[in-house]
Amino acid sequence: MRLKSRLRKIELVLAQPPPTCDCPWPLMQFELPDGSHYPPLPPCLRGRCPEIRLPGEPPQVRTIVLGYARYPDGRKNDGVNDVGPSAFRAWDQETDRPRLRVIVWRDEDGRLRYHGPPRWWEMDVEYPRIMKGIGVPESDEVMIEELRRTDDTPPLGSACYGRTDDEPSHADYQD
């Protein structure tokens, strides 16, 4: 074996593995009756993830869009999806069970944004696992206070999500 071949093999063994994206993908998004999507998709939580893939390989799936089927005029469709806390649960290794996951980041305008149920801090659910991006306050109390002041997301029972709290959920519909 030639010296150059041996050096190449040693370099391959000792080389650092290529960087990978470890951001939480894929994420759920909902198409609301007005055609908009909720919640906004977070950018890379570390600043910028490398996108390393083989030539001709399709890009990584970053989002799964669910069509919400309740419309303001009362029509309904078979594929009803509620924008509730259950849609934002992911497996948590700390508790070894599914747990509500919220991703918080600061956008280009300096405003805190989040990927999770609408106004999750007002809900009576277990405390979520919060994944924080660059520029998000370390203290959860400070972060939640800033979200209370600046968030303009309507509450979960709002008509923009296609149903109000006094209407039955999709589990109650039977055709």
Q: Read off the pLDDT of residues 70-83 as tens digits, 9 standing for 90 and up.
A: 544 555 555 566 77
User: How many domains does the structure of the chain reveal?
Assistant: 1
Answer yes or no: is 125 within a domain.
yes
Enter the tokens of residue 90.
């992911």
Q: How confident is the model at residue 18 (pLDDT cuts 50, 70, 90)?
A: low
Q: What is the pLDDT of residues 39-69, one digit of tens each?
A: 888 888 877 777 767 788 887 777 888 775 4
Q: What percent of the chain has pLDDT over 70?
A: 78
Answer yes or no: is 136 within a domain.
yes
Give pLDDT, residue 141: 94
**156 touches 85 (CB < 8 A):** no
Element (H, E) at 167: none
Give the CA diameter of the chain: 77
Answer yes or no: is 175 within a domain.
no
**137 touches 7 (CB < 8 A):** no
More confident residue, 92 or 156: 92
d(CA 90, CA 26): 11
Answer yes or no: is 173 within a domain.
no
For every residue of 87-142, DSSP letters joined together read GGEEEETTTTEEEEEEEEEE-TTS-EEEESSTTGGGSSSPPPEEEE-TT--SSHHH
Answer yes or no: is 10 within a domain.
no
Q: Which residues contact 153 (CB under 8 A, 6 or more apart)?
A: 38, 39, 118, 119
Cβ atoms < 10 Å from Cβ of 110:
8
Range of lowest pLDDT (85-89, 105-109, 159-163): 159-163
Answer yes or no: is 5 within a domain.
no
Structural domain of residue 32, as residue ranges? 17-161
